[in-house]
Amino acid sequence: IDVKEPLDLIKLSLEERIYVKMRNERELRGKLHAFDQHLNMVLGDVEEIINIVEIDEETYEEIYRQKKRTIQMLFVRGDGVILVSPPT
């Protein structure tokens, strides 16, 4: 594997499924079709997971929920990307 720059590692994942951790407690898993130097990406067959934390008004306990949806094709703006890796 010839990796000279960070984006070379992402180039190896083209047309492969990847995991993307986003700001605001969002996670994406999908097939990487395209990307640019700003980490803008086009993903296909995407599963989006939104992690929601709510506070119970009586007990003040944190309640964790997940909301999932499937998206056929998605443009991801790079400034919201925290991490890119193979799917887990």
| pLDDT, tens digit, 9 for 90 and up, residues 16-28 | 999 999 999 999 9
In percent, the amount of the chain with pLDDT more than 90 equals: 84
User: Quick one: average pLDDT of 21-38?
Assistant: 97
Q: Exposed, middle or buried by CB within 10 Å (0-12, 13-18, 19+), for 30?
A: buried
CB 50 within 8 A of CB 62: no
* pTM, 2 dp: 0.87
Residue 35: which pLDDT band, with cuts at 50, 70 and 90?
Answer: very high
Q: Could you give the count of Cα atoms lying within 13 Å of 38 in the half-sphere of its Cβ?
A: 8
* Residue 1 confidence (pLDDT): 65
The Cα diameter of the chain in Å comes to: 56
- Which whole number is the average pLDDT over 30-45? 97
* Domains recognised in the chain with CATH numbers: 6-85 (2.30.30.100)
Amino acid identity at 49: I
